[in-house]
Amino acid sequence: MQPANHNVIQQGGTPIRLWTQGVPVDEKAHDQLIKASKMPFIYKWLSVMPDVHVGIGATIGSVIPTKEAIIPSAVGVDIGCGMMAVQTTLNANDLPDNLHGLRCELEKAIPHGRSKSRGRGSNRDKGAWSKPTDTVLDGWKTLTDDFNLLCEKHPRLKNTNNLNHLGTLGTGNHFVEICLDEHQQVWIMLHSGSRGVGNAIGRYFIELAREDMRKWFINLPDKDLAYFPEGTQHFDDYWFAVGWAQRFAFKNREIMMENAIKALREVINKPFDAKVKAVNCHHNYVAKEEHYGEEVFVTRKGAVRAKVGEYGIIPGSMGAKSFIVRGKGNEESFCSCSHGAGRVLSRTEAKKRFTVADQIAQTEGVECRKDAEVIDEIPSAYKDIEAVMHAQRDLVEVVHTLRQVVCVKG
């Protein structure tokens, strides 16, 4: 018997299961899901999370299980993007009354954003290390050997912003936050991925997949659904590369978290334990998993793994709640849940529709940027996080509810 809170549709391909009751799904995302469902190697069905919205190649908020093939654009170019959160022993009363200094300390500790200036000597990525720290160099040592192997086969990947981006935030919806839970305990939460090198790996292999499709005269419902069949050289190379980028992303978040904790210690003199609880999870990645007795590749594009008892993080937008969750192991979703609220407006549309005054009003009580450059991240550009959580109530249970008091955006 079908659970009450998810729907099943089928229009010429494998079934699509949608945990979207009570949240909007735009027509373009719906069409994109239909195209993906027609790929011949989809295993059983696609699972769609309530934060679903249109993406490149594959829909963001989708779980794509496949047999003997991987679609690189379904993983995307922000390979290994995900979340990390730690609970501290501090409470709200330990934070300074004015949080601006704490935001500045976080901004100083973690490179972020991109330089707007294009003048001589300043045309560089502001969100990169001018000189990597010892912590970054130590982290890079764990990644160096496999990166060199990758570059021996694919030299174009060598000249990427790899070492200088390790331990950095990036732009867009990547963030570092100081949050309070339902007991007023202080948490540090951040969102980022594999940065420039992951982007380069993603774009490079997506183009290789398109070239393979042209070479083999394979017609696709969408060119961005180009794939690598298992057993081919490009499949093996991509599997190695994407695995490396996911490790880079995981290490990137660990280094940023260490630096965020140091920033908090600079502002708060009181001794505290910084890792009472810690969660570090991807939400743009591919993994080999067993489902229904078979080994399959599961690509989660904007989705978090939620096996029984497994912890995950579902952030809301700036000014909205976020959640630390525990998985229920729902097999029909391939043990997955949403990765956030999900956009309802594009960045361009959000900037057309809202003003700085709107941004100030909607982020009241949060120490964060409130200028024209971050209007695309205004809470109204996202779905209602409460509705998103209700739609996936059979996928996860809420362990902690967080509200941000400081937010650093790229």
Residues labelled catalytic:
339
**C-alpha span between 248 and 254 (Å, rounded):** 10
Question: Which one, of 382, 385, 315, lies nearest residue 53 by Cα?
Answer: 382
Contact predicate 160/154, CB 8 Å: no
Task: List 9's β-bridge partners, or say none.
Answer: 16
Question: Which one, of 122, 127, 200, lies nearest residue 160 by Cα?
Answer: 200
**C-alpha span between 334 and 298 (Å, rounded):** 8
Half-sphere exposure of 113 (CA within 13 A, CB side): 15
Angle, helix 233-267 to helix 100-109, in steps of 10 degrees: 140
**C-alpha span between 287 and 296 (Å, rounded):** 8
CB proximity list for 26: less than 8 A, separation 6 or greater: 53, 54, 344
Question: Which one, of 70, 33, 83, 99, lies nearest residue 206 by Cα?
Answer: 70
Question: Which one, of 177, 84, 180, lies nearest residue 368 by Cα?
Answer: 177
Residue type, 351: K
Contact predicate 329/345, CB 8 Å: no
**C-alpha span between 282 and 280 (Å, rounded):** 7
| Tokens matching residue 116 | 């707007």
Distance of CA 5 to the CA centre of its chain: 25
